[in-house]
Amino acid sequence: MVLLTILFCIILLVLLVSLIKVNPFIAFLIVSIIAGLLLGIPINKVTASVQKGMGDIMGQLLIIICLGAMLGKLVAVSGAAQKIAGVLVHAVGEKYIQWALVVAGFIIGIPLFYGIGFVLMVPLIFSVVYKYKLPAVYIGLPMLASLSVTHGFLPPHPSPSALVALFHANMATTFIYGLAIAIPAILLAGPVFAQFLKKIPSEPLATFRAEELPAEKLPGAFNSFFTALLPVLLLMLTAFFPYLNIKDPGMSKIVTFLGDPSIVMLIALLVATYTLGVKQGKSMGQLAGSFTDAVKDVALILLIIAGSGAFKEVLTASGVSSQIASQLEALNLPPLLLGWVIAAIIRISLGSATVAGLTAAGIVAPLVLQNHVNPNLMVLSIGAGSLAFSHVNDSGFWLFKEYFNLSIKDTIKSWSVMESLVSVIGLAGVMIINLFVK
């Protein structure tokens, strides 16, 4: 009954948005309230769950997305994105630009959370798309596949790291196994799958489109790359700080503060304001106008993501994940496959990879000890399951749809299928490695 209720709510959401053309944010609010009532949340607590879900996800993403949009706008209008695209194509050739972006996405995805990596890399993707008149989904999806794989498989991302601790796995071993699985997953779900997506129509978000500037007005290559990638550099430095064996607690607190994604994005924007703005002859008034335009362009995206957070919180607060997991626990499946199945079904139902991963882990944790399952592989199996079929209840789905300006149908054909391929390939990789390790 629970699964039927969730299925009804998801179908209702799709119909409201695609068939009746209701604004996605309003549709999310309607469906979230209906879902809360149908799933047994007391009527006086439904709106509290909706508000909590919106607040939780906005608390994580509001600053990052707004500052990221401002930074992306500045990278675009200053000509830095044009310069970066030109350097990349000159280095690898237009024929291999997609592969260059895949490698960049993988390297950047290791230290960055998915949402931050997405916001940072979209301007680079669109600059290549605009300059060389290439299909946006064909060029962009492989890079985003890299970001998604690192988010689901590789520590130090939150879900894999939490699973490593829960299963008492080895962080380094999990990373090595994850790397072995990540590479074929990225290649098959990225560049190979993207070959079938060249005809998907896409007119990417206008905020990252800038007029092409003459070469003499472009910022230098070092300035362009350094400023655009400064958030990545700052996050990488803070990620490696624990390995420097510095014991000073004061220094640790400073590094923790400076490594917060919101602070990183603020520092990067302030630096870019000088290096790509003031230094390039732009007035503060001009820059303020660009920043205002950038926030206007992502305002609807923020509301849609807030709506998806409300829907997820209603499902979580109703105890749906525990009910689904307990029903599936009775299945007579190998532990690694069971972990993947539980994580996948909760992910499809709730939309959150992290909730799916941690819920599944709590259910199968006893099986790891009882059946002597390799804990490193269980981390990766659940991580793969937690990426399965991202759709309308996942904020990542709406980020991709709105930034690339796609229909729901085309977003499912591209984004949802890519995530599902990553998930299935990840499971296959786990099973293959399990044949060779004890």
For the chain, domain boundaries: 2-203+216-434
Q: What is the predicted pLDDT for the residue at 329?
A: 64
Q: Is pLDDT at 111 greater than 70 in this prediction?
A: no
State the amino acid at position 50 in one-letter form: V
Average pLDDT over residues 319-331: 71
- Transcribe 139-196 into DSSP letters: HHHHHHHHHHHHHHHSTTSHHHHHHHHHHT--HHHHHHHHHHHHHHHHHIIIIIHHTT
Q: What is the predicted pLDDT for the residue at 113?
A: 64
pTM, to two decimals: 0.75
CA quadruple 35, 324, 391, 72: dihedral sign: positive
Taking the C-alpha atoms of residue 39 and residue 314, their distance in angstroms, rounded to an integer, is 9
Taking the C-alpha atoms of residue 388 and residue 347, their distance in angstroms, rounded to an integer, is 7
DSSP summary character for residue 260: S
Residue 19: CB partners within 8 Å, gap ≥ 6?
none
Model pLDDT for residues 238-269, shown as the tens digit of each residue? 767 777 777 788 888 888 888 887 888 899 99
Q: Are 397 and 416 in contact (CB under 8 A)?
A: yes
Model pLDDT for residues 359-394, shown as the tens digit of each residue? 788 778 777 777 788 999 999 999 999 999 999 888
Q: Are 94 and 350 in contact (CB under 8 A)?
A: no
Model pLDDT for residues 206-218, shown as the tens digit of each residue? 777 667 778 888 8
Residue 62: CB partners within 8 Å, gap ≥ 6?
302
Q: What is the mean pLDDT of the chain?
A: 86
From 120-134, 171-185, 216-230, 337-351, the region with the lowest mean pLDDT: 120-134
Which of the four pLDDT bands, split at 50, 70 and 90, describes residue 410?
very high
Residue 54: CB partners within 8 Å, gap ≥ 6?
306, 307, 309, 310, 313
Q: Is pLDDT at 85 greater than 90 in this prediction?
A: no
- Residue 34 C-alpha from the chain's centroid: 27
Q: What is the predicted pLDDT for the residue at 189?
A: 96
Taking the C-alpha atoms of residue 256 and residue 10, their distance in angstroms, rounded to an integer, is 39
Residue 294: CB partners within 8 Å, gap ≥ 6?
66, 69, 70, 72, 73, 207
Q: Is pLDDT at 271 greater than 90 in this prediction?
A: yes
